[in-house]
Structure formats: structure tokens, C-alpha cells
Amino acid sequence: MKLRNIFYGISSVLLIVGASACTDLTETVYDKIVSDNYYQNKEDVVRAFLRPFEHGYWSVLSTYRLQEITADQMGTWERDGWWYDGGQWERLHKHTWGLEGGDADVIANAWEVQFQGIGQCNSVLEDFARLNREQLGVNEQELNSMYAQIRTLRAWFYLRAFDLFRNLPRVVSFNDPSQNTSYQVSPEETFAFIESELLDVIDKLPIKEGNNGNGNLQGQWNKASAAALLVRLYLNAEKWIGIPKYEDCASYAQKIINGEYGNYSLAEQWYEPFDWDNEFSNEVLYAFTAGFGYSHWHWDGDMYWWGFPVNAKYYFGFLEWGDCNPARAVQPSLDVDGNLYEFELGKTIHNFKMYPEDYRLKKYVNLEGESKREGMFLYGYLPYTNSSGKVEYVTSPVGGYRLYIRDQVGRFEDALPSETIEDKESNCAHGDMNSGWCVVKYPVYRDGDPGAMESDYVEIRLSEIYYSLAECYFRAGNVAEAGKLLNAVRKRNYPQTRWQEYLYEPEGIVALTEAELLSEWGREFLNEGRRRTDLCRWNKYSSGTWWDKEPDLDDHTDIFIFPYRILGANPELKQNPGYPDRK
């Protein structure tokens, strides 16, 4: 088993890497009475500091679903009677979400978990401001570092809520309601708050030293990761507040790449930032720490563990967590007869196959030895050797047919790969267990493997900074420089002997167009919980067409509705434009 310290360092402070999973994340962590008695020693300070980090890690699912299910790459559809769930996923897919129902609950949850996180950060910040440092044995440098990190984490919560809903109340105090607003402030004001917070904390945060990844410092917000949040903020500024800030985005991206905020470099292999020992990857700017025996929220329940066929555990050879669940897969490029769809967006597997020697296109397989894999997708038949040494195949839990996973959605059931089926219907309400390739970005190693379920969840990696800077150059008309930046990352995906065929001009022969740039964002960051944001920034989210999805009536769906559950909790909230208000 991979060695994981229970504590990691912040300056000379030892901090817990894997806080225990909690079961009630809606509770108030500390009220005034509790906080007066809670802080008895340095370890109490550390525990309080870590509490909103654990919530932040747990909250990733809430935004992941809205970022991926509502966009053009990943999808949830009916499978032999599974996963239709009253049409809630279809409504999210088609941007027809409402004020109540399962789809509204998914949206409301994304709002609630961000503000729970903001509230937890506010509570800790106010507690820390009045601590007796000498009595608790915490020096000023240690406390200042923790204080700056909590402010960064709060800015991260705000940025995610801002992206999804845009019109937010200002909540900056846990104990003094007069500092907050129950009504929404303007998007410009929220943008300015996030920006000012990040600009102020950068110099107060630790910096990554050396050139061997973060190691035991994984999970800390530092100068580079705070600067990366500014890159995200500025890259989307034109969409979010109507003011382009690409020059600011480029400036901070270049500083990160130049090493002004710490030593980082691109991984040599595409899978390294996601592998079991990714805390030592120099490509990782920020990750939530995880481990088999600690928190592992990106593998739990409704996130990546629910992105594989039910019986895929046999193919992986990892049986310790029970069955998987096919909640999500890649939307199809082909109709049921194998013809390529003609719509503009989506067609993700086809976009990968445009570069057929892409290492990521290989079928995911655990290689011989410990903690080694290749490939990023599950497709075709999935064979495995049973306990008696006999080769069997993963089968459907409904009907028992042998799975043959396709880049198509339909009712194929036990049809052979070469067969043409009579049923031509393909939509969110009509699929089966064969429908849609599965993405395996984080490895699923075998039972007993030292790397089994040890990957940290990567929130920011250096390739995002390269791609953001490339987009800034592209928008400024410097397509050649944009291509070079993208190529710096793309090179690891293809055989070096064929680079010219696969790289963008002028280093290769591939033309970099707006459509290709958006496709390349999709290839590099497939299933990483950001696709909706990228589509919105290019004004494709509400206007685009993809599988089983026609353009929306207008662009009001670029931000989400406030369901009744949110409106009922705060009478002063105003519904977002274009949506029906309260009853």
C-alpha cells in the first residue's frame, strides 16, 4: 500500500492529509459557544483549518454533474430501464430544467454546497482572527499561511458558484450578518471580490520548492494554484461580466509557466497527473489528497465509480468496492447504423480518432506488474479470467448479454458488432448497457495493488495554464504561438516519429481553427468537470447542437435556474433572467 502520512506540512505545522469522511455536511461546524471551547491546542487549529478543505473535496461532484451532463461530451441516458429517473437527466441534457423535480435538486445542490463551503471558510477565518496564538502554540507565520489558504479556498467556492449562477449574494462573515447581503450583488461586484481576494493572498501563500512534485505538501493552496484561479477568472471574464481580460489571463499564465510561482513542468506521459503517485507530478498545481483508506470522493458513489459498466469490476480486477454503475458515458459519434453524426459539437470519440495513434485511444488495461496501465477508454468486449482460470466476459446486469461497448446509443443488447439492428432510435430515453464508451482517466488497479485507489483528485494542472495561454494568443490573432503552446502538451499523446502529422502549424501540418481549439480543449480535459464552462466561453453552450440536443431558444440557459428549494430559503433572491419565478 502506498505510504500516506496522516499529517502534511505547512511551514512547520503538521496537517492532516485525509480528513475522515463526514456524514452530515449541512451542519454548522462551529457556533460561538463551541468555538470558544474548541481551540485547546495546535491540533484543534489544524482540524478547524482542514474542515472546509474536506467539504471542498466532497463538493466536487455537485459541479461535475452540471459541467458534464449538460454539455456535449458526457451523458446519462436510459439503459434497459436504468437511469431514466423520471427524465431528470434528459432535462439537464436538453437544458429544459425546471423549478422542481430531480433536475432542480441537482442544480440546488450545487448552489447549497458552494455556500456551505463559503460559510465554513468564513467561520474559520473569524475564529483564527481572535485566537490566542501563544497559548495554542501557533506562531504568526503558520497561522498567516493557513489564513491565506482558507481565503483562497473561499475564492474557489465563489468562483464555481459564480460560473454556474452568476448572480450571487455577498457572504463574507459567519458571525456578523451586517457584512453580508441576502440579495444578489452585481456580477461585476462578485468578480471584483474574487479578484481582489486572490491578488491579496498570492504573496502570503507558500511556494512549491524543488522539482519533484508537491509530495507531502499536496492539498495546499499555494502561489501557483491561486494564480491559476486568476487565470480561470480572467479567461472567462468576457463571458461572465462582458469585459475581456485576456491580457491579464495571459500575464498570469506566463508567470506560472515561467516558474515565478514555483517549479512546475508538463508530465512526459498523459496519465501521470492522474496516476496513483500523482502527488509527485510536477504538472499538478492543486489536488485534493485521497487514498484507499482515507477520503476518496472522486471515486465514491455518483462520480467516477459510476462511470463504468456494473460488472466492470471483474475486468479491472478490483472487487473491494462492490459493483460499479453506468450512470455516465461518452455521448455517441455514430448513429445505430454506424454513420457519423453531422452536428457541430460532441462526437468526442470521433474527435480523438482524427488522430488515430493517440495513446489515450487504447483500451484501458492494467498491465503486468504493480500500478501500471495503458489507455483511457473502455470499449468493445471486456474479457477477464475468473478464479478457475477460465476467460469470461463482462455481462449486462439486465438480460445477461455479453457487453460490446460502442460509440453509439441504442438497444443493441446481444447483437454482434457486425450486425445491423432494426431499432433505429437513439436518444436519452432509449439506450442499453452497451451504449457509450467509458472514460478511465484515474486508474482502477487490481485488488491488493499498492496503487489501488490512491490517486489524488487533480483540480488544476499545468496543461490548463498552457491551454488558457494558447487561447489568449488565438483570440489575439497569434495562431502560430497558440499552436506551439498546445503542441507542448499534445506531443506526449502521439508517437514522436509522426509528430508532424499530429501537431498544429507551424510545427506540424494541422490547422488550428476555432472549432479545432474547442475540440482540443475537449480531448485534453475530457470528463474533468469543465466542459460546460468552455462551451459557454465560446458561446456554444446554448446555441450549439449535439447528440439529442437542439439549440436553446436563447442564451439565458448559460446560467442555471434558481429552483424553488433555493428561492424558498431566501425570499430576497431574484430569479435569474429568462426563468419563471416563484409560484
DSSP string covering 410-459:
S--TT--TTPPPS----BTTB--TTBS-EE--S--PPTT-TTTT-PPEEE
Q: Residue 568, Cβ neighbours under 10 Å: how many?
A: 12
Kindly indicate the confidence band of residue 582, based on its pLDDT and cuts at 50, 70 and 90: confident
- Please name the residues in contact with 549: beta carbons below 8 A apart, sequence gap of 6 or more: 72, 93, 94, 95, 346
N residues, the chain: 583
* From 136-140, 340-344, 541-545, the region with the lowest mean pLDDT: 136-140
Q: At residue 17, does pLDDT exceed 60?
A: no
* pLDDT (mean) for 529-536: 98
Nearest Cα neighbor of 308 from 437, 430, 406 is: 437
Element (H, E) at 288: strand 284-288
Q: At residue 12, does pLDDT exceed 60?
A: no
| C-alpha span between 164 and 120 (Å, rounded) | 20
Q: Residue 317, Cβ neighbours under 10 Å: how many?
A: 16
* Buried-state track 50-78, b at ≥16 Cβ within 10 A, e below 16: bbbbbbbbbbbbbbbbbbbbbbbbbbbbb
pLDDT the model gives residue 24:
33
* Buried-state track 284-297, b at ≥16 Cβ within 10 A, e below 16: bbbbbbbbbebbbb
Kindly indicate the confidence band of residue 319, based on its pLDDT and cuts at 50, 70 and 90: very high
Kindly indicate the confidence band of residue 35, based on its pLDDT and cuts at 50, 70 and 90: low
CA-based max dimension of the chain = 77
| C-alpha span between 510 and 307 (Å, rounded) | 32
* pLDDT (mean) for 425-451: 97
CA 182 to chain centre: 29
Q: What percent of the chain has pLDDT over 90?
A: 86
| C-alpha span between 441 and 320 (Å, rounded) | 20
Q: At residue 481, does pLDDT exceed 80?
A: yes
Which pairing describes strands 391-393 and 383-385: parallel, antiparallel, or unpaired? antiparallel
pLDDT the model gives residue 379:
98
CB 68 within 8 A of CB 517: no
User: Please, which residues bridge with residue 366 across strands?
Assistant: 373
pLDDT the model gives residue 115:
97
* pLDDT (mean) for 157-169: 98
Kindly indicate the confidence band of residue 583, based on its pLDDT and cuts at 50, 70 and 90: low
Per the prediction, the chain carries an average pLDDT of 92
* From 138-152, 474-488, 507-521, the region with the lowest mean pLDDT: 138-152
| C-alpha span between 119 and 114 (Å, rounded) | 9
CA 525 to chain centre: 9
3-state helix, strand, coil split of the chain in percent (to 5) is 40, 10, 50
* From 139-153, 328-342, 353-367, the region with the lowest mean pLDDT: 139-153
Q: What percent of the chain has pLDDT over 70?
A: 93
Question: Phi and psi for 188 in degrees, rounded to 5?
Answer: -60, -40
* pLDDT (mean) for 493-503: 96
Q: At residue 348, does pLDDT exceed 90?
A: yes
pLDDT the model gives residue 212:
75
| C-alpha span between 414 and 396 (Å, rounded) | 10
Q: At residue 11, does pLDDT exceed 70?
A: no
Rounded alpha-carbon distances, angstroms, from residue 191 to 186, 338, 428, 460, 473: 9, 46, 36, 20, 23
